[in-house]
């Protein structure tokens, strides 16, 4: 699969213990494959793959059926963090937020973004950049009561333009920085912050 942004977690893997929460699952070609494989080799982790799209959930469920410490959840990240995670008696050591797609070029929208927007509408959600940023900020705030003493929050499709944060984490990264998280990684349109 090559060197992907979520591989960054390997740098800190020996310092982490707890739950890996992935909001926005891979579609058999990325993050879910990686995290399910990772936790199968490290029993100190639980992996929760969360996606509101039933098609993505089926991919997660396939992994959960064979990897005992991977769990699939068909719901929004906000619902998972408010309704399910508090009941698990776990702490989050790594959160990978890559849900709610972002349109990099609204003025010249590629055809596949139109397809994504249609799918979101079928699921009852309007896919806009503003809604994406708001969702990631809300999820970031909802994570806070559940983070471990050593935790990483990584936001995909997040980048800086002229010293201003853009993308999915445009609101979440400044909020984390204001709340004593430290930026430790920016590469390939992803940002990762730690609390230790």
Write out pLDDT tens, residues 60-104: 999 999 999 999 999 999 999 999 999 999 999 999 999 988 888
Phi then psi for 82, rounded to 5 degrees? -95, -35
Which of 7-11, 30-34, 111-115 shows the lowest mean pLDDT across its residues?
111-115
Band of pLDDT at residue 29, cut at 50, 70 and 90? low
User: How many folded domains does the chain comprise?
Assistant: 1
Q: What value, to the nearest 5°, has the Cα angle with vertex 54 and ends 189 and 69?
A: 75
Could you give the CA distance from residue 2 to residue 33 in angstroms, rounded to a whole number? 12
Domain that holds residue 120: 5-194
For residue 1, the model assigns a pLDDT of: 29
Closest CA to 88 of 125, 46, 138: 46
Strand partners, 159: 166
Q: What value, to the nearest 5°, has the Cα angle with vertex 193 and ends 11 and 56?
A: 80
In tens, the pLDDT along 129-161 reads 999 999 999 999 999 999 999 999 999 999 999
- Domain with residue 107: its CATH number is 3.40.50.150
Sequence length of the chain is: 196
């Amino acid at each position: 699969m090559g060197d992907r942004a979520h591989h960054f977690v390997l740098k800190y893997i020996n310092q982490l213990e707890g739950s890996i929460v992935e909001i926005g699952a891979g579609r058999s070609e990325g993050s879910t494959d990686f995290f399910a494989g990772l936790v199968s080799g490290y029993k100190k982790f639980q992996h929760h793959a969360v996606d509101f799209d039933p098609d993505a959930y089926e991919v997660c469920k396939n992994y959960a059926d064979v990897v005992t410490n991977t769990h699939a959840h068909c719901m929004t990240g906000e619902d998972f963090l408010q309704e399910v995670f508090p009941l698990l008696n776990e702490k989050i050591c790594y959160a990978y937020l890559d849900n709610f797609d972002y349109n990099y070029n609204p003025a010249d929208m590629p055809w596949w973004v139109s397809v994504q927007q249609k799918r979101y509408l079928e699921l009852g959600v309007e896919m806009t950049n503003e809604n994406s940023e708001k969702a990631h900020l809300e999820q970031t705030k909802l994570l806070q009561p559940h983070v471990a003493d050593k935790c990483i929050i990584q936001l995909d499709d997040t980048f800086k333009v002229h010293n201003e944060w853009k993308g999915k984490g445009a609101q979440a990264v400044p909020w984390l920085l204001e709340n004593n998280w430290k930026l430790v990684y920016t590469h390939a349109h992803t940002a990762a912050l730690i609390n230790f």
